[in-house]
């Protein structure tokens, strides 16, 4: 078969969440990464202010992780986990269980956050059926929530643009309101004071649908992809109480908040709120090999197993669930987090990060600043008649100045690797301020 492809052409790759025509007309390419930096083909260093895509928590190309992947590839490149096991999968599941909240320690492996969200939703439905309540089928998400791009996560998600092209979604889904309230909470440091009452919207949904039909509520403890929405004080606690009151499972999507982003292993620890199911991905392997996971309570696991009338208790899984290379990378990542005290380091840096971010309060175009742990969001006033345009110009200006940021709508999202130094936080702030000053 003739090979008609042009090796150096940009045409063949349909890039995700990217304006493809604009990018391919003016590409920004990366060829190498190390520590806190990416490097362009001409050798320029780009300070990573976003940990890749919220995922490279321990910094780039960490030797322990690189060596673990190389070793695994030479020993066991692949093995199915359908009716067959390999030691790394069991070891990694046990290690994960050791840093999760007590009792949430039954681990199903996936390959991404999107797969984790759909897996968690399916587990929730299977659990309700296994306990004799098949009528509990409804799934409740939240406006502006992001739970990946597969149909389950997309259905409970609440970002309109992500859903608009794909039809009616799955049935039996409703949404809580989001908690962003700039009118009352602008420029809050950490968790905002106002908004706990947004959790009470669950009571309205219970009145509408009846609790007997609601299987689970899924929320991000801190909403990331929608533009950094921090939960109001008491909100997650109230949501937990309402789910318990109405016999509804609570799922925390910790794809972003897992593995130290808030200065604790998981947001569940940080907020001291225990969900029933936790999804994770991204930093689980420091993004070196694609992987995700779902952690369920022992009660959920035991109920599904004990109620099964077939040898296979849950008809779900993926060809590469628990892939040997991913498990090796995950174990090395946990070792790196522990040996370098990166979760604790994030907690120690959080106050400095907060002060640095809030120095933008007097910057041009800024209408709100939000932060928690090593997460930051800087919201810009949209340009009249051209929403998102200002933020995209700032994104490009920062890249040209040697800084990678992330923009979503007119919000700049920041989430540096946990190895960031104070001087690099200063560099992030100085570069972003320069870009803001240069944009109309």
pLDDT in tens, the chain (440 residues): 556 556 679 999 999 999 999 999 999 999 999 999 999 999 999 999 999 999 999 999 999 999 999 999 999 999 999 999 999 999 999 999 999 999 999 999 999 999 999 999 999 999 999 999 999 999 999 999 999 999 999 999 999 999 999 999 999 999 999 999 999 999 999 999 999 999 999 999 999 999 999 999 999 999 999 999 999 999 999 999 999 999 999 999 999 999 999 999 999 999 999 999 999 999 999 999 999 999 999 999 999 999 999 999 999 999 999 999 999 999 999 999 999 999 999 999 999 999 999 999 999 999 999 999 999 999 999 999 999 999 999 999 999 999 999 999 999 999 999 999 999 999 999 999 999 999 87
Q: What is the 3-class SS of 303-318, one letter each residue?
A: HHHHHCCCCCCCCCCC
- What domains, with CATH codes, occur in the chain? 20-61+341-437 (3.90.1150.10), 66-339 (3.40.640.10)
pTM over cut 0.95: yes
Sign of the dihedral defined by the CA atoms of residues 107, 109, 112, 118, in that order: negative
Beta strands in 59-169, from DSSP E residues, in sequence order: 106-110, 138-142
Cα atoms found within 13 Å of the Cα of residue 206, Cβ hemisphere only: 17
User: 97 vs 101, 266, 277, 294, 298, CA distance in Å?
Assistant: 8, 12, 12, 11, 11
Q: Which residues contact 9 (CB under 8 A, 6 or more apart)?
A: none
């Amino acid at each position: 078969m003739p090979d008609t492809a042009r090796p150096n052409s940009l045409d063949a790759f349909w890039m995700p969440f990217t304006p493809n025509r604009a990018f391919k007309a003016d590409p920004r390419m990366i060829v190498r990464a190390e520590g806190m930096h990416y490097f362009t083909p001409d050798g320029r260093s780009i300070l990573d202010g976003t940990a890749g895509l919220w995922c490279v928590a321990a910094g780039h190309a960490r030797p322990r992780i690189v060596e673990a992947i190389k070793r695994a590839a030479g020993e066991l490149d692949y093995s199915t986990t359908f009716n067959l096991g390999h030691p790394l999968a069991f070891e990694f599941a046990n290690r994960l269980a050791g840093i999760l909240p007590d009792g949430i320690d039954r681990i199903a492996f996936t390959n991404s956050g999107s797969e984790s969200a759909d897996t968690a939703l399916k587990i929730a439905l299977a659990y309700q059926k296994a306990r004799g309540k098949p009528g509990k089928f409804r799934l409740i998400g939240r406006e502006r929530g992001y739970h990946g791009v597969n149909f389950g996560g997309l259905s409970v998600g609440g970002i309109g643009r992500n859903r608009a092209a794909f039809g009616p979604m799955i049935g039996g889904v409703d949404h809580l309101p989001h908690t962003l309230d700039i009118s009352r909470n602008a420029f809050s440091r950490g968790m905002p004071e106002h908004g706990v009452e947004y959790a009470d919207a669950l009571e309205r949904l219970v009145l509408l649908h009846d609790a007997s039909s609601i299987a689970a509520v899924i929320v991000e403890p801190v909403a990331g992809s929608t533009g950094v929405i921090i939960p109001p004080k008491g909100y997650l606690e109230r949501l937990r109480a309402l789910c318990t009151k109405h016999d509804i499972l609570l799922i925390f999507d910790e794809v972003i908040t897992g593995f130290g982003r808030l200065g604790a292993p998981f947001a569940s620890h940080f907020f001291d709120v225990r969900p029933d199911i936790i999804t994770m991905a991204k930093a689980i392997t420091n993004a070196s090999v694609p992987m995700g996971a779902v952690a369920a309570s022992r009660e959920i696991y035991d109920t599904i197993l004990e109620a099964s009338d077939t040898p296979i208790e849950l008809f779900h899984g993926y060809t590469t669930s628990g892939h040997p290379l991913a498990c090796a990378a995950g174990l090395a990542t946990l070792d790196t987090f522990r040996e370098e005290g990166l979760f604790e380091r994030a907690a120690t840096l959080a106050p400095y990060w907060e002060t640095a971010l809030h120095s933008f309060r007097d910057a041009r175009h800024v209408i709100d600043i939000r932060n928690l742990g090593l997460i930051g969001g800087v919201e810009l006033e949209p340009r009249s008649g051209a929403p998102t345009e200002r933020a995209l110009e700032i994104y490009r200006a920062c890249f040209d100045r040697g800084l990678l940021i992330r923009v979503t709508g007119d919000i700049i999202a920041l989430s540096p690797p946990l190895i960031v130094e104070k001087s690099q936080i200063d560099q992030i702030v100085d570069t972003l301020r320069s870009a803001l000053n240069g944009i109309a």
